[in-house]
Amino acid sequence: MAFEKTYPEIRDAVSKLCSQFSGDYWRKLDDGSEYPTEFVQTLNDAGYLSILIPEEYGGSGLPLSAACAVLEEIQRSGGNGGACHAQMYTMGTLLRHGTEAQKEKYLPKIADGSLRLQAFGVTEPTSGTDTSRIRTTAVRDGDDYVVNGQKVFISRTEHSDLMVLLVRTTPRDECSKHTDGMSVLLVDMRDAVGNGLTIKPINTMMNHASTELFFDDLRVPAENVIGGEGNGFKCILDGMNAERILIAAECIGDARWFTEKSSHYACEREVFGRPIGQNQGVQFPIARAHIQTEAAALMVQQAADLYDQGKRPGAEANMAKMLASEASWAAADVCIQTHGGYGFTQEYDVERKFRETRLYQVAPISTNLILSFVATQELNMPKSF
């Protein structure tokens, strides 16, 4: 029941907004591997992408739990908030660590939609989830940093104006801690593309806005460092924790969509002269998926509450993301099984959502790495890497 009794007005409004974008809309985009520009613009115009920005900068000033409610409802409606959810979770880095000058310069424009902050540049081909081993460097040169390197699986760069980019400003072997020596740069994509930044789209089975980035002497103003040089890892964690909690909320929305779809179909579909939902062999998996979802939702709520208290809930954010992604995948599997052959047809939207929700056991952090984190950080077991 996480967030179910919270922000009812927001939930109702988001649900009504999403009803304007039917399954036909999402299927057409999926067929063409296209970005949902109209949907994102509608969300922005309604103020939902600026929900975390303080009121003094033109936003709603609401906590992360409100953003969770928005994204959960988008997924529950059958849509996909992945096209724009980064504008919410990247706020964690900028809001908590940005200077007043940076906030005044960028937040009002992000709030009114004239600037889009939807790209989060962390992952690299050689390091994957081992963030401390990133090779993209930024070297100070006068009033600028000169950036060289490569990023991969960075979403929405072709549809963003700004990117939160993690770079190395001090070589890893010169740092006392392997997480030191990294910095966060706020990159203006409008100036960067063609002037040191090259974007290459990646074709994937879902998340059709994924790209690979190449940096070749890209100059970024030193005033765009967020949180000070060398403090990037700490700054990025606030974005990552928000990211995991918000994506967990999306997974809860997915899971509820699948379960509602399953139960409705099981009541309507008749085989051997009665609804298939009358058979316990059909009932029980759907009920189990529902129970698993509600348990995961409580973990998501706990993580969001801790984040809203100003804490850094790394363990809770990771556990919420893992439990929610597994709940959504279990519900998706049950939904396919309940629909039988129809589950694989496009018109039911099950196969599309089935593909989309599978992503979240891999990104933004894999299930295995979450288990490793919990084992070492929460249970004090020795590291395996």
Q: Point out the catalytic residue in the list 72, 124, 243, 356.
A: 243
Q: Is 347 a catalytic residue?
A: no
Residues in the chain: 385
CB 90 within 8 A of CB 120: yes
Report the relative pairing of strands 144-155 and 137-141 from DSSP bridges: antiparallel
Burial of 19 (0-12, 13-18, 19+ CB in 10 A): exposed
Q: ω into residue 285 within 30 of 0, thus cis?
A: no
CB 40 within 8 A of CB 158: no
Report the relative pairing of strands 117-121 and 162-168 from DSSP bridges: parallel
DSSP for 30-56? HHTT---HHHHHHHHHTTGGGTTS-GG
CB 258 within 8 A of CB 324: no
* SS3 of residue 155 by DSSP: strand
How far is it, in rounded angstroms, from Cα 7 to Cα 66?
Answer: 7
Report the relative pairing of strands 137-141 and 197-201 from DSSP bridges: unpaired
Burial of 290 (0-12, 13-18, 19+ CB in 10 A): buried
3-state helix, strand, coil in the chain (%, to 5): 55, 15, 30
Nearest CA among 93, 194, 100, 187 for reference residue 136: 187
Q: Annotated active-site positions, please?
A: 243
